[in-house]
Amino acid sequence: MFNKASKGPLFPYIIWIALFVIAPIVLIVYYSMLDLNGNFTLANYRNFFSPVYLKMTLTSFWYAFLITLFTLLFAYPTAYLLTRTKHKHLWLMLIIIPSWINLLLKTYAFIGIFGLYGPINAFLEVFGLDPQQILFTDFSFIFVSVYIFIPFMIIPIFNSLDKMNPTLVYAARDLGASSFTTFRRVIFPLTIDGVKSGIQVTFIPALSLFMITRLIAGNQVITLGTAIEQQFLVSQNWGMGSTIAVFLIIIMVIIMLLTGQKKGGRIQ
Amino acid sequence: MKSLVQATIAILVVCALLFFVVDRLQSAGSAGSTDTITVYNWGEYIDPELLDKFTEETGIKVIYETFDSNEAMMTKVEQGGSAYDVAAPSEYMVAMMREKDLLLPIDHSKLPNLKNIDPYFLDLSFDPGNKYSVPYFWGTVGIVFNPGLVGDHLTFQSWEDLWDPSLQGKVFLVDGAREVMGMGLNSLGESLNAKDDELLDLATEKLTSLSPNIKAIIGDEITPLMINNEASVALTWSGQAADMMWENEELDFAVPEEGSNLWFDNFVIPKTAANIDGAHAFINFMLDAENSAQNNDYVGYSTPNAAAMELMDPEVIEDERFYPNEELREKLEVYENLGPEWLGKYNEHFLEFKMDIR
């Protein structure tokens, strides 16, 4: 496999990976062991295990979990229905296009939509309800995050649903399975790989969200991403920022391993 | 293989082309020619007409670029690459940049208009003798509020008013460690430059007891929220408050009597300067009484320029909310450069406080 002919084309990729994947990680690990004066120390790591950062890690996890859960709950049925439509690729396109719009622009739009005098409250007023404070709540934070991640979850699930052989479903129905059993025993296991990649692309970025925590949640939700931003830009404590980043990378690797695709899965 | 090589070459050619165009554009702009200067300032912080006027008077073209945080500005200056001739950092950043040797000394003989500046604003602790900086604007940190939306008993002459039970879920804070921790320390009657772990713990505790009242901790987004009456009370800078009050006349601003922060933004000439004479000419031009008055009218912050104040609308300069008298100013403190270790501690406490809001 590794004869001369195949090594040549690999070369650019090796350089790419060395420069843009390995070197930055090595640098992050290196900086995480420096204190403010550039001396070697492990104090940053000790600091990370103080209650403040542990609590932050747990809240980050909790919110990332909620975001992923709701994204999955919305994305799966959507992807499923998409594969049943006539022009499924056109519909998929229409869902993906909004994800090309800059994240910040979409977030600012939500500030207006959720405002006390925004359209949602204007709508509530029609039914005689008092204006609700929607912005700067857990609800608004999770809603906006889910909105942002839904396309990324739909694509892998759509692809695996699309690849699935529909005759398997007919077979299951013929053999007397109810639609729920068909879903549970046939459709879902066959698309689990899509779900796993969907979870990866949602959960990992959700752990390190930072602009939305400020703009939509008013900094009442602090994620690991916010902490990294603060350490680098405000405190200028690159050591601590890198240490948080190291833990974020470790968490990401664990999640990748947990949701990784086993070679030659159980069901072919 | 062949298509890979072709693709690689295509990408490299496109990169080289883009690089060339950017390089041409930049050198056409600045790059040390004597007839242009590059000014690096905060956004919305100068009357653009003055830039044209400066070019007319001196023949020097101005390239104007903006930044949105002191730290971002310093990082760019530190990395070099761009020839900034004039920048406008806040006082603690002047001290930090001086320490890092990023500033060039200012030649006072080239700034005859320096005499226009109120001596009160010269020779301050962050830059003794104004060797490296010249004051541009100044202001305070205080509370902007909407009297129609909060109880009449709240005047915000004291920080304690923020803790009033009627404000549950209504208070907005600015997302800055120095501002919020400083407010906590001030509300205890302590200095906002305190270097004492115990005091910082106490201030954090005091701030945590404010959590039921806090709605959000955000940045510039406070401005539209206050203007649209979506928020009723916010901790913010005087200049930002002036912007809000310009748009929404119902708003009022107060600097609590226990003390608060007094800040200064200053012109400096960074190490990256390519046109030092031009930079001096620009600073001198901005110090001119008439120009400064015109600029102040546009920007709306408080000016340290005494000669300009004589030309301005007396109603503006007699407004004690934005031009506190000297007695009040005595109670205000300038941020000292705390050094990275204590700055880190302030940030850790601020983070701790933010974690405990819920």
Residue numbers in A near B216 (CB within 8 A):
135-136, 217-220
d(C-alpha A259, C-alpha A195), whole Å: 9
State the pairing for strand pair B252-254/B133-145: antiparallel
CATH superfamily name and code, B139-262+331-355: Periplasmic binding protein-like II (3.40.190.10)
Per-residue pLDDT at A3: 53
The single residue listed with the structure tokens 């990976």 is A17
From the list A9, A56, A237, the residue facing B4 with the nearest CB is A9
Backbone φ and ψ of B68, nearest 5°: -120, 0
- pLDDT above 70 covers a percentage of chain B that reads 97
Name residue B190's amino acid: E
Which residue has tokens 């301050």? Answer: B124
More confident residue, B358 or A138: A138
Contact, B353 vs B185, CB < 8 A? no
Q: What number is the average pLDDT over the span B300-310?
A: 89
Nearest to B84 by CA among B272, B266, B267: B272
Please name which of B110, B43, B51 lies closest in space to residue B295, comparing C-alpha atoms: B51
* Mean pLDDT score across all residues of chain B: 88
Residues of chain B with CATH 3.40.190.10: 33-137+264-324, 139-262+331-355
User: What confidence score (pLDDT) does residue A29 get?
Assistant: 94
Chain B residues whose CB is inside 8 A of the A55 CB are 355
User: Which residues are CB-neighbours of B20 under 8 A, at least 6 positions away?
Assistant: none
Pick the CATH number of B33-137+264-324 from 3.30.70.270, 2.60.40.10, 1.20.140.10, 3.40.190.10: 3.40.190.10
pLDDT of residue B34: 61
pLDDT at A266: 45
Backbone torsions φ then ψ of B64, nearest 5 degrees: -110, 120
In whole angstroms, give the CA distance from residue A245 to residue A24: 11
- Picking from B175, B344, B354, the nearest residue to A237 by CB comes out as B344
Supply B172's token pair.
């907005």
Q: For residues B212-229, b (16+ Cβ closer than 10 Å) or e, as one string?
A: ebbbbbbbebbbbbbbee
CA separation, residue B286 to residues B54, B86, B115, B116, B294 (Å) = 9, 12, 13, 11, 10
Q: What is the pLDDT of residue B28?
A: 57
Predicted ipTM? 0.80
Q: Counting one residue from A and one from B, how many pairs have CB atoms under 8 Å apart?
A: 84
Residue A6, pLDDT score: 62
Q: Are A254 and A178 in contact (CB under 8 A)?
A: no
A235, A179 contact by CB (below 8 A): no
Q: pLDDT confidence of B344, banded at 50, 70, 90?
A: confident
> In which residue ranges of chain A is pLDDT below 50?
1-2, 264-268
Give the distance, in angstroms, between the CA of residue B18 and the centroid of all CA atoms in the same chain.
34
Assign B168 to helix, strand or coil: coil
Question: Could you give the 3-state DSSP secondary structure of residue B13?
Answer: helix
Identify all chain A residues contacting B175, using CB atoms and an 8 Å cutoff.
214, 219
Determine the Cα–Cα distance for residues B35 and B28; give it in Å rounded to an integer. Answer: 12
How is residue B341 written in tokens? 């270790």
Backbone phi, then psi, for B133, in 5-degree steps?
-145, 155
Q: Give the chain B residue nearest A237 (alpha carbons).
A: B344
Q: List the single residue in A111, A219, A237 with the smallest CB-CB distance to B175.
A: A219
B23 to chain A, closest Cα gap in Å: 25
Q: How far is CA B123 from CA B99, B117, B127, B134, B333, in A?
A: 17, 11, 6, 10, 15
Q: What is the pLDDT of residues A208-263, one digit of tens each?
A: 888 888 889 888 888 888 888 888 877 778 899 999 999 999 998 998 898 876 55
Nearest CA in chain A to B4: A9
Closest residue in B to A115 (Cα) is B230
β pairing state of B171-174 and B103-104: unpaired
B61-87 average pLDDT score: 84
Q: Is the pLDDT of residue B185 over 90?
A: yes
Running DSSP on this structure, what letter comes out for residue A18? Answer: I
A227:B351 CB<8 A: yes
- Is there a contact between A219 and B340 if contact means CB atoms under 8 Å apart? no
- Which single residue is written with the structure tokens 């709540």? A137
Tell me, what amino acid is at B11?
I
Q: Which of A215, A197, A183 is nearest to A71 (CA)?
A: A197
Q: How far is CA B216 from CA A71, A207, A215, B219, in A?
A: 25, 21, 9, 10
Alpha-carbon dihedral B251, B252, B258, B259, rounded to 10 degrees: 90
Rounded to whole angstroms, how far apart are CA atoms B260 and B182?
A: 7
Residues A178 and A172: beta-carbon distance below 8 Å:
no
β-pair type (B233-237, B133-145): antiparallel
pTM (predicted TM-score): 0.81
User: CA B77, CA B305: separation in Å to the nearest integer?
Assistant: 27
Q: What percent of chain B has pLDDT over 90?
A: 49
Q: Average pLDDT for residues B201-228, to the nearest whole number?
A: 90
Residue B25, CA atoms < 13 Å, CB-side half-sphere: 6
Residue A193 to residues A74, A170, A190, B134, B181, Cα–Cα distance (Å): 17, 22, 8, 63, 48
User: Nearest by CB to A136, which of B177, B215, B355?
Assistant: B215
Cα–Cα distance for residue pair B170/B213, rounded to 1 Å: 6
Structure tokens at A34: 């420096």
Measured CA to CA in angstroms, residue B142 lies from A229, A239, A263 at distances of 26, 33, 62
Instruction: Identify the residue among B352, B353, B356 best suited for mutation to test binding to A, counting A beta carbons within 10 A and taking the highest.
Output: B352
Q: Is the pLDDT of residue B31 over 60?
A: no
Q: Looking at residue A63, what is its pLDDT?
A: 93
The pLDDT value given to residue A233: 74
Comparing alpha-carbon positions, the chain A residue that sits nearest to B68 is A233
Nearest by CB to residue A234, choosing from B71, B215, B221, is B71
Reported residue count of chain B is 358
Contact between chains at B354 and A219 (C-beta distance less than 8 A): yes
CA gap B335, B193 in Å, rounded: 6
Tokens of residue B335, six digits:
């941020």
Q: Do A233 and B71 make contact, defined as CB atoms within 8 angstroms?
A: yes
In chain A, residues under CATH classification 1.10.3720.10 are 43-259
Q: What is the pLDDT of residue A265?
A: 45
> How many Cβ atoms are within 10 Å of A231's Cβ, its own excluded?
24
Which residue of chain A has the CA closest to B73? A233
Summarize pLDDT for B224-270 with one digit per residue, the tens: 889 988 889 999 988 888 889 988 999 999 999 888 998 999 999 99
Chain A residues with CB under 8 Å of a chain B CB are: 8-9, 12, 36-37, 52, 55-56, 59, 111, 115-117, 133, 135-136, 214-215, 217-220, 222, 227, 230-231, 233-237, 240
Smallest Cα–Cα separation from B173: which of B161, B164, B183, B165? B183
Which of A9, A111, A222 comes nearest B1 by C-beta? A9
Across the interface, whether the CB atoms of A220 and B358 are under 8 A apart is answered yes
> At the topology level of CATH, where does A43-259 sit?
MetI-like fold (1.10.3720)
- Cβ atoms of B283 and B173 closer than 8 Å: no
Report the residue from B218, B225, B340 with minimal CB separation from A214: B218
Minimum CA–CA partner of A215 in chain B: B218
A214/chain B closest Cα distance in angstroms: 6
